[in-house]
Chains A and B, each alone.
Chain A
């Protein structure tokens, strides 16, 4: 997604002179285009993330729009207090860009993974966290993020959208349109909610021959923003019909998608006579934590049952 992110920023920042790009000394073979396009509005802050975030807050207080870029864990955990106080409490228009959320930096090891970033940031006042689900989605999500004049976090990963799938309009919880063959009410139906790029793993499963043979109907929803504040009618209708909810997130359980949804569903259940939270069967797969052994992102997804094969197996068993 980084390539698409850079192209988007080059396009937008070319016109909007208030945008500044700050990096924590990262971006080799990636940010050169932005650097050349933005000239003095591109600043390498050095490996000093705390200073970067507070400086960004100072810049934003004067009406500028700073984008702070680094590898996700470095730009989230080290300067967490600076984000909490200088950015969020003062409601500053600072955009934090974390590359490689989840296990994105795989073999680089645990220091480079970010499994609690959304829990930490989405709990902060005024903060909106944006998670594009595929490379093609980045420009839409970045534009949505820039429309909001407050603290934002963009979690970048990597995933290619299958050609036949069209990009849905933006919302926090988006229905992905899938052609369900021979749609009829007898088929087993599962409502699947996936965080960001895991959506693509689910799409790969749906294309799988075994799933097709089983004639399952899968209603797929991508989480593109956290926190989620409300559930769409579309989502609730799907859940009522399916009675099965599978949640997949490359993030720890605490403060993640499942906890967020559970609270919203409990509230819905309280006010709707036609919807009973307790009748819904739920399966939840998430990051179990930082592991002892390392591999690429796919390896870590397999260990946590977030890869296409495990997702297919678990959907069949549901």
Chain B
């Protein structure tokens, strides 16, 4: 049996990433501002969930994904992070963004819409457990599309799962299937913040030894020790791709150790920020904190 254990290697980052890093940081600051402003003006919750996977989403959209690649955000409750990024990309207009959540007739519900009307969102989500299977279908289609067969093209499909998704039985059906069919164009990223709807994951439904569980399903797995840090995310992707053997044989999985509410001190690692909206004082505090982080990052870089 092939042993799929991979270690994140200490690699010299490729030049394309190093050059792009400043840009990624810029985008992070901008999308963070958009995201906080969205939640403040709409008085909406799920901020913690969005902050948890924002860095992963930015990395995917602005570093990793190619034009034909696809993404499924299985944890649909992090929609505001996705909307902030799609706004930055120009897929969402300012008017549409302004209508988010608290204007009747908006396209931007608290979970990504199911109507195919939003550029960049093939499938609306919100009921947990569907995303992996949807991504599998899109990844599997690559083998049957005529134009791909002719040109020997490979489109990657990325899916972001939460612990809640991993509670659902369907996700494990999907993992079995993806490994059995060696879907080497499928990337599964687990936003592993150890908090879910009503408690800590290890207290609600223990997912411990997650890496061992996934390895036993014959997936190629790496752990990103800090899923809220671009370098850590990038190292994980490099490790998965560096191994040519791995690249050929099957689905790849990154367990991204993240922090719910990452970047905002009073939100970090706290269950209530799955639900609560910010008051004015909290919003100002959050803006101040992200500005400070930006300045620190700039000093680090210079």
Query: Are A and B subunits of one complex?
Result: yes
Could you tell me which A residues sit within 8 Å of B by CB distance? 17-18, 20, 40-41, 43, 45-46, 48, 50-51, 53-64, 66, 81-82, 85-86, 89-91
**Bound Cα distance A40, B141 (Å):** 12
Question: B130 touching A85 by the CB < 8 A rule?
Answer: yes
Residues of A contacting B141 in the complex (Cβ-Cβ under 8 angstroms): 58-59, 61-64
Could you tell me which B residues sit within 8 Å of A by CB distance? 114-116, 122-124, 127, 129-130, 133-146, 169-170, 173-174, 176-177, 180-181
Question: A64 touching B144 by the CB < 8 A rule?
Answer: yes
Q: Known contacts A58-B133, A61-B123, A91-B116; decide if A46 and B176 are in contact (CB<8 Å).
A: yes
Q: A81 — nearest CB in chain B belongs to which residue?
A: B127
Residues of B contacting A57 in the complex (Cβ-Cβ under 8 angstroms): 123, 134, 137
Q: A62-B142, A63-B145 are in contact. List 14 more A-B contacts (CB 8 A).
A: A46-B173, A46-B180, A54-B133, A54-B136, A54-B137, A55-B140, A57-B134, A58-B123, A62-B137, A63-B141, A85-B114, A85-B124, A86-B123, A90-B116
Lowest 6 A-B CB distances belong to which pairs? Answer: A58-B137, A54-B133, A62-B141, A51-B173, A48-B173, A55-B137
Question: A51 touching B124 by the CB < 8 A rule?
Answer: no
Residues of A contacting B134 in the complex (Cβ-Cβ under 8 angstroms): 54-55, 57-58, 61, 86
Residues of A contacting B174 in the complex (Cβ-Cβ under 8 angstroms): 51, 54-55
Q: Known contacts A17-B146, A85-B127; decide if A50 and B173 are in contact (CB<8 Å).
A: yes
What does DSSP make chain A's interface, helix, strand, loop or mixed? helix
Residues of B contacting A91 in the complex (Cβ-Cβ under 8 angstroms): 116
**Bound Cα distance A40, B122 (Å):** 25
Q: Known contacts A48-B173, A85-B127, A90-B123; decide if A58 and B136 are in contact (CB<8 Å).
A: yes
Question: B122 touching A61 by the CB < 8 A rule?
Answer: yes
Residues of B contacting A66 in the complex (Cβ-Cβ under 8 angstroms): 137
**Bound Cα distance A50, B136 (Å):** 13
Residues of B contacting A85 in the complex (Cβ-Cβ under 8 angstroms): 114, 124, 127, 130
25 sampled A-B residue pairs with Cβ under 8 A: A43-B181, A46-B180, A50-B169, A50-B170, A50-B173, A51-B174, A53-B133, A54-B136, A54-B170, A55-B140, A55-B174, A57-B137, A58-B123, A59-B140, A61-B134, A61-B137, A62-B137, A62-B138, A62-B142, A81-B130, A82-B133, A82-B170, A85-B127, A86-B133, A90-B115
Q: A91 — nearest CB in chain B belongs to which residue?
A: B116
Most buried by A among B115, B122, B170: B170
Residues of A contacting B170 in the complex (Cβ-Cβ under 8 angstroms): 48, 50-51, 54, 82
**Bound Cα distance A89, B169 (Å):** 22
**Bound Cα distance A209, B144 (Å):** 56
**Among B124, B135, B142, B177, contact of A46 (Cβ-Cβ < 8 Å):** B177
Q: B139 — nearest CB in chain A belongs to which residue?
A: A58
Residues of A contacting B135 in the complex (Cβ-Cβ under 8 angstroms): 58
Most buried by A among B115, B133, B136, B177: B133
Residues of A contacting B133 in the complex (Cβ-Cβ under 8 angstroms): 50-51, 53-55, 58, 82, 86
Residues of B contacting A62 in the complex (Cβ-Cβ under 8 angstroms): 137-138, 141-142, 145
Residues of B contacting A18 in the complex (Cβ-Cβ under 8 angstroms): 144
Expressed in whole angstroms, the minimum distance between the Cβ of A248 and any Cβ of chain B is: 37
Residues of B contacting A45 in the complex (Cβ-Cβ under 8 angstroms): 177
Residues of B contacting A17 in the complex (Cβ-Cβ under 8 angstroms): 144, 146
Question: B114 touching A90 by the CB < 8 A rule?
Answer: yes
Question: B145 touching A64 by the CB < 8 A rule?
Answer: yes
